[in-house]
Structure 1
Amino acid sequence: MVKNSKINLRIYCSGHVIYSLRHSIFRREYRSSNFHFSKIKHERHFTSSVLSPVTPSVYNLFDEMPKRDNRTVEASFMFLRDVLRSFMMRIETETPRSIHCFALKCGFLQDLATSSKLLTIYGRTGDLVSSLGLFGELKEKDVIVWNSMITCLNQNGRYIAAVGLFVEMIHKGNEFDSTTLLLAVSALSSLHLSKKCPMVHCLAIETGLVSDSSLCNALMNLYAKGEDLSSAECVFTHMEHRDIVSWNTIMTKCLANGYPRNSLIYFKSMIGSGQEADNVTFSCVISACSCLEELPLGESLHGLVIKSGYSPEAHVSVANSIISMYSKCGDIEAAETVFEELLCKDVISWNAILNGLSANGMFEEAFGILKEMQSVDKIQPDISTVVSITSICGDFCLSREGRAIHGYTVRREMQSRALEVINSVIDMYGKCGLTTQAEFLFKTTTHRDLVSWNSMISAFAQNGFTQEAKNLFREVVSEYTCSKFSLSTVLAILTSCDSSDSLIFGKSVHCWLQKLGDLTSAFLLLEMIFETRDLTSWNSVIYGCASSGHHLESLRAFQAMSREGKIRHDLITLLGTISASGNLRLVLQGRCLHGLAIKSLRELDTQLQNTLITMYGRCKDTESAVKVFGLISDPNLCSWNCVISALSQNKAGREVFQLFRNLKLEPNEITFVGLLSASTQLGSTSYGMQAHCHLIRRGFQANPFVSAALVDMYSSCGMLETGMKVFRNSGVKSISAWNSVISAYGFHGMGEKAMELFKEMSSGNSGMEPNKSTFISLLSACSHSGFINEGLRYYNQMEEKFGVKPVTEHRVCIVDMLGRAGKLKEAYEFIIGIGEPQKAGVWGALLSACNYHGDTKLGTEVAEVLFEMEPDNASYYISLANTYVGLGGWDEAVRLRKIVEDNALKKLPGYSVIDVSVG
């Protein structure tokens, strides 16, 4: 056995990194092998910030090393494992490099278990450069090594690199496990990339790893962090095994996203399932009771906490939640009792009772608590304490006490650490009438946020400095974009617009508020005028939401008004809600509102009946639309246009022309657009040309929407040249006209012409910017004409060059284009590479391509995805069955057809139209 041997070992890593090791081997008796090792003394020269993979010449150096006795190697390996296991528990900065050198000397570096442990130690000591170098040197990497490296990156705050390594791992086809996905979710959470959660979720489902409860808990957390609570609940619902963390995650996330009642519902389900609650559970559900001000339920939960043995001393967080709950529900005596009985109070406990006393108007008691808090060892007021007590000083105009608190924050240097402290002091000075002090603090603050500006504007406005308030508001307009305004900004300045001299400025503020389009602010304002809000207030929100495209919010506002029961709806209310129902395709909701209108109104207004016709048309209930039209005693032109539009939208072209023959009024442009749309559906040039003649006589051919409809009609009916003449002769060309003619060229297989027209349109001379529909037409033209490279180039330029974000229709075009060319693998990789779940239309395009090219293997895989997404869609079963028939797979085809028959699935029938002109 060799003792105290001197070794000089230089390791050259791609010419960048040199380790120089001079040491006496470990002096320690290793009983199993009778080895004696001395402690390593080493020197290290590190000349690069990035480790590169070891070059082949380095490996040759190790190959030439003398062969060791097997027993010696085994003993050394066991010793190395022991050392690694030991230092996994206690990390010293220099230790990993010593172990690394020993592993290199003994030839154990390629042992994956050893390498992964060494990576972990490097990560914990913060030596990321060495961990990257070791990772790069490894010829073979298993999933544990990859996981160890991703963990290193996460531990050292390199989250983007961690996600990048995860993506590289997937692209290389390496195996991964639930830990890999868990690490990826952790990195995405740290980067606030909640939108990427579905990508990881899909991988988990595809590989069967979704059964891992820890991974599901992380997915729920990430979904909820991005305010996608429905997806988080979906993960929870499909979990095979739920632990206490699963229940706590879904409950806390419901609470955090503003659904405290859902938290309580989940708690009830958890108790029913036999799962015992813990301190996190109780803290959450008691906080939910606090939000809902459900005192009886809160008291019951308090009793359950005591019964479950959760003592306040052991679980102070539960006690803090109980204090806050009693305070919020107005039972301050109970809150004080819990607080006084709590022996191990933390700063949150003191803040909870202080806020409770403040909220219940007991400001003298609150100051008493603050004084008592300062006398307790190891407990000092924090930022939350200061903000709470400063708010009390402002609300009760306690300027003397407020100055003292300000002095305390300066002594403790809180202002330099927390902007909310400065904002609260500015607000306090403003409420106490000390505008000069507020302004001085505002101007000397180097970092301001919108709250700072709002507080100062409010301070000026409340104390009669109206001009200063207006000037500051103008400054904030130039400092922030409209999208960053808040309702508080507008409310702060409005009090300075109460004189006739401020009328113009007040109107300007109103315009700014309308530019905001801040739906949340509108609802907050409605909530703030709880006692005085009337029908006009509700209608402003209900009809305003429906008019600006926020249809679901419109219906929710109507439901809130109905539940309140104080105010009865009127015609304006119904116009907004019926319109919202139509846009959301909620036919049952629309019928209920129709019934409510009949019940509550003496007679149906024509405007309301027109809205009903439009609603039924959008919900594809043409029969009801025609019935409503028939009940109108004196229909106006808008009524006729509504029913024509409803019929033409639902492919009832012949009924449109039958109805038009009975029109006694003078038609307008909207009427003819409906007629031309019906002609296009019927493929009827005779009807279309008659409509064209009518509108020429009335001088409507110059209307851009009419000319777009004409182009669409002629090109769809095979008269492309005529359509182009209409397009070129029209004066002002709408974006719809450009899209129609690009689509027409593509439909007729003239892709080059379509691309030329797109180039003309996007050159800037046309005055038009391509939109979503433009690219659908263009990509479809490339698909029909086989211009694959051009189509992919346009797709890649959409968002980057033209600012048009790709949607499902664009992706369907790309998949169809690749599928037509037989590039099925590329089409499949395109879908997977999008990084988020795609709708059935995209997968359906790939299934059609598989059917056309007879690829049953990929077709079956794609069909399985579609069966899961739309199990009742017979088209997918029939398409796959036809693929099998084409290849002689009759048994499989029969099986699929039988599924369609057994489940009574129906495929929508196709139809053909022959236009017969009778001379």
Structure 2
Amino acid sequence: MKKLSNYAYKALLFCSSLPNKFSQHIPPFQFFSPNLSQKPLFPIHHFFITHGNTQVSGYTSPATHQLFDKMPQRRVQDFKNVEGHEIFELVNIVKENPDILTASQVHALVLKVGMLAHLPIITTLLIIYSRIKNLISSLVLFGEIIDKDVVTWNAIMTACIENNIFGYAVSIFAEMMNEGEQFDSATLVIVISALSNMRDLRKGLVVHCLSMKMGMLSDSILGNALIDFYAKCGNLSLSECVFLEIECKDVVSWNSVISGCLNNGRAEKSLLYFKQLAGLVKGGDTVSLSSAIAASACLDEFGCGQAIHGCVIKLGYEESCHLSVANSLISLYSQSGDIDAAEYIFDKMEYKDIITWNSMISGFALNGKIGEAFDDLHEMQFTRTIEPDAVTLISIIPLVAEFTLLREGKAIHGFTIRREMGAELPVMNALMDMYFNCTRAKDAENLFLNMSKKDLVSWNTIISGYSQNGRCREAQSLFKKFRSGISKCSLSTLLGILPACDSPNSVQFGKLIHSWEVKLGFVNNIILVNSLMYMYISCGDLVASFKLLEEIAYNADVVSWNTVISGCTQNGHFWEALNAFKLMRLKSNIHDTITLVNIISAYGNLELTYEGKSIHALALKTSAGQDIRVQNALITMYGKSSDVENARSGFELCFYHNLCSWNCMISTLAQNKNSKEAIELFRFLEFEPDEITMATVLSACRQLGIIRHGKQIHAHVIRSGFYKNAFVSAALVDMYSSCGRLDIAHQVFQSSEEISLAAWNSMISACGFHSNGQKAIDIFHEMIYSGLTPSKVTFINLLTACSHTGLVDQGFWYYNHMLDEFGVQPSTEHQVCVVDMLGRSGRLHEAYNFIKELPRPPDPGIWGALLSACNYHGDLQLGKEVANILFSLEPENVGYHLALSNIYVATGSWNEAGELRDIVHRKGLRKSAAYSIIDVGSS
């Protein structure tokens, strides 16, 4: 009795430490193991008492659901009276569908008639309390039992498992061995079930050894439990070994190994085992069939999946009646693109569970059927027995993100708040990603800051989101904070932060990421190496990028080469892109559509028409020549090379056009001063125009200076809703400014919902060309105050405005403070503006000294600006000196000869002017003819 009192006391003490709601996870064990002072029966006792690594999982395997009912039960002895039999039958009836009220009533009845000492009854009561999630009462009852048998011990361990207290179930098994109690194979099945949920491989190995020592492995149920256990612990080889050792395999054995292979990413093995099972007389059941269908979907073996569907029909497992099979078929047909077949199975089903709805919604999302996905979600909410769960939302949120449906995304966010799903980390992470995709970085940031718990995916999402939304400093700062607080860093973390290194100022941070990549052992990961190469190119360190490429040259795939080529092309390193392409052909002789598109773009930007034609020929020799992207790139290349005829031929010879084709051709005509033809082509457009079309046509109107055409396009922009686009607004400002209507340009600028940097630049330029330099300066400061960072173009426009309005001192100040105040490196274009500004104001020698003091040899364009100023002010001596410099730099440029000739004429040096004209005539130099346009009837 003393021992019993001590045990009951400890059980009650344990119960008092548990929380009220067992439906919630209990923290890793602070539980005690009763009677630890006794010497253990087996030497493994210390092994089971260690709870430090115990993991509590909310998932219970279907194999462990109501596990106790499937175990061998004790033989119930005859009762002395009929009342005993009736009470025992009543307790068993309550066990089938218990609730708190009936449990309390039947417990009181048992207590009243004095049958609480009867082992079968008290054991059944223990299970009843467990199933109504009142584990405390189960443990108290267990503590009151004096003579426990193996069934009682099995029952309390099962109760712990059903309430997700897996570690304590293992502790009870250790105590059972301490007390010298005999156990059976059913006990080991229960313990393996607990360890399976804990994913505790080491303790499971000990139980396996124990079962071998006791000669219990002949029990197929125990063997099946071990197959499932090893598979869940990720040790598929041991799982297969146990399967092979089972002499009498039943369908559960096959199901365990088939599903185990599938869950460990070995879908091909899963199908192989299923084919072996299908060859047996017994065949498969719903579990094996649904697993095989899922394996076919994973491997994209849709033909095999359809064959298994035929097997399903042949075996009589009708889809409408067997949930798991129907759910797998819905996923299979959704992934194969046959969404109609998936929907047919869904509509035919008599009963649908949450997995069914989620599979169908996910299928619609996968196939871009956004309307149907939302319709099913809406219909699902009106199904009484089923409510959307976290998986439902995770299926629909990526669709919202892909199509940037902010309104629907906010509605889903509201739904999660109403249903109190804020603790569901996958849902919160998906919502963050959605907000970033919808360019709502602030909303994503608020969501992140308000999350009570954050996992690695949360950090990866916000770091990647900041990087993709241009908030590079925030991404870098957050990464540093992440590294200081969390030691674990994944491949996704590194891939997410690398896009934040996109300028020379970030190269040191990029090198830090590179060092982390080496430290974490990702040095051979081709995806990360590709991202690193692109990062170095974006930061201007081409040497580091090409060094990485050289290290992987013989193992590089086409994506690696394309990464370098596209990175160089997009960052203006066109010659380097061409060199990488030559090396690519030399090392591997592989290329694809992406390669050709980028190389064609490089040739176009370099205006290498002849070489561009050779790539055109290469494209025609392969199937890539028929790709619409390559054809569009060729049109653009010929346009940039001023070869309008070949561009037009390429456009006309396309087998089919898309909107991009029309945009490329219209842009080509506009860039090559064929603005009237560009507008005519726009009138015959075969597609609904987009923002790019509108911006391009407005550029053509600006060149023509015909405001009535521009107004018509403006009206179309308003009707189409494109006025909200920042680039279209900037094009409208340019067009009205060039047509002399600064007032309308200013109205468009102020009415823009989102003012882009391009729009600010256009407005500064417009004020400058309309001789309102001070207004241009004011707008520049407004832009800085709004939080935007000025660009190279911003300062070109600002310096030009100062030049046109004589604001020399102000212009000089902005030039001198471009780098230190605004972070913009002065370039040749800015220096031309300064020379022009000094030249217009007559300060020619200051301009000359400015050029001489430049850190690098000046570009011909800079000397050309000074020569124009000398022409304007008639400074013959300086003009001759500057002209001689230009003749040595660009001897074939007729403009310089004519400028010097005009200076001679202005100063009365007719003989020198004549001699210079003769030189031009002998060399055959010609100046392009100018033209003027008058728009009759314009308004």
Band of TM-score, shorter chain: 0.3 to 0.5
Normalised by the size of structure 2, how large is the TM-score? Answer: 0.46
Larger radius of gyration: 2
